[in-house]
Amino acid sequence: MKLCRFGSPGAERPGIVDKDGAIRDLSSIVTDIGPDQLSRARLAALAAIDPVTLPLAPARARLGPPVSGTRQFIAVGLNFSDHAAESGMPIPDEPILFTKGVSCIQGPNDDVLLPRGSTKSDWEVELGVIIGTTASYVAEADALTHVAGYCVVNDLSEREYQLERGGTWDKGKGCPTFGPIGPWLVTGDEVGDPQTLGMWLDVNGKRVQTGTSATMIFGVATLVSYISRFMTLLPGDIITTGTPPGVGLGQKPEPWYLKTGDVIDLGIEKLGVQRQRVIG
């Protein structure tokens, strides 16, 4: 099942994608796709609905983030060995965790705004994990039972802020518009094994990232279990799990970064695609 939210920012309506790829309006059934709708029981109730009985969403409706009410946006750094190598950093012994401000979350096709004074804004296609039920000290064997579904995330990053200005990575990760999410929340039963998904990203039509979740150092189940030892994961929380090689920081013969007018296209197998225009 693919769930989404459509409409103007702050006024999105809940949607479900039918077998033909059309968005159907779920607002007669639920008020939103948020923390209260992400348990296995609630998702099963939505999956039992025949989408063709619901009205179509307006043509070319804007897509918002596929889940509302996210309270924690947690990211994992250097979780692909080849990305760690291109960044000139050692492969971590344990997951590297940081946070992205929830204020950076936006729809999958909304414009990306370069921060004031930015010189090194970068792209990162990532597999997002949306938590469905509260997770605290969960065993790795049980971790995926706490996952509602998966989504595409562009973990945009300002590298100067992140790496050259001291302190934690967070300051380069949560700039406004630096968290495009969606287009869909795809439930785990439709995705299957989350460690077999192809990933890609283009800048201005040039393929710069190609990878697969199979090469993650720490898989989804490991990450959910590990993070739950340090914080309680709540329904609607999002974990973004790292990126394959090909980011701007790792370009050869020298790095290059986003500029006004660039267009970013990205996608993950089974999870859909995003497109953002970069504005100044």
How would you write the pLDDT of the chain (280 residues) with one tens digit per residue?
999 999 999 999 999 999 999 999 999 999 999 999 999 999 999 999 999 999 999 999 999 999 999 999 999 998 988 777 777 778 889 999 999 999 999 999 999 999 999 999 999 999 999 999 999 999 999 999 999 999 999 999 999 998 888 888 889 899 999 999 999 999 999 999 999 999 999 999 999 999 999 999 999 999 999 999 999 999 999 999 999 999 999 999 999 999 999 999 999 999 999 999 999 9
pLDDT of 85 reads 75
Contacts of 218 (CB under 8 A, 6+ apart): 76, 79, 95, 226
Q: How many angstroms separate the CA atoms of 165 and 107, rounded?
A: 29
The structure's pTM equals: 0.96
pLDDT of 90 reads 82
pLDDT of 87 reads 73
pLDDT of 168 reads 82
CATH numbers and ranges of domains, the chain: 2-53 (no CATH), 73-279 (3.90.850.10)
pLDDT of 81 reads 80
pLDDT of 242 reads 96
Q: How many angstroms separate the CA atoms of 218 and 100, rounded?
A: 19
Long-range contacts of 259-266 (CB under 8 A, 24+ apart): 259/114, 260/114, 262/203, 262/204, 263/203, 263/204, 263/205, 264/112, 264/123, 264/154, 264/201, 264/202, 264/203, 265/201, 265/202, 265/205, 266/123, 266/125, 266/152, 266/154, 266/200, 266/201, 266/202, 266/209
pLDDT of 84 reads 74
Q: Are 73 and 240 in contact (CB under 8 A)?
A: yes
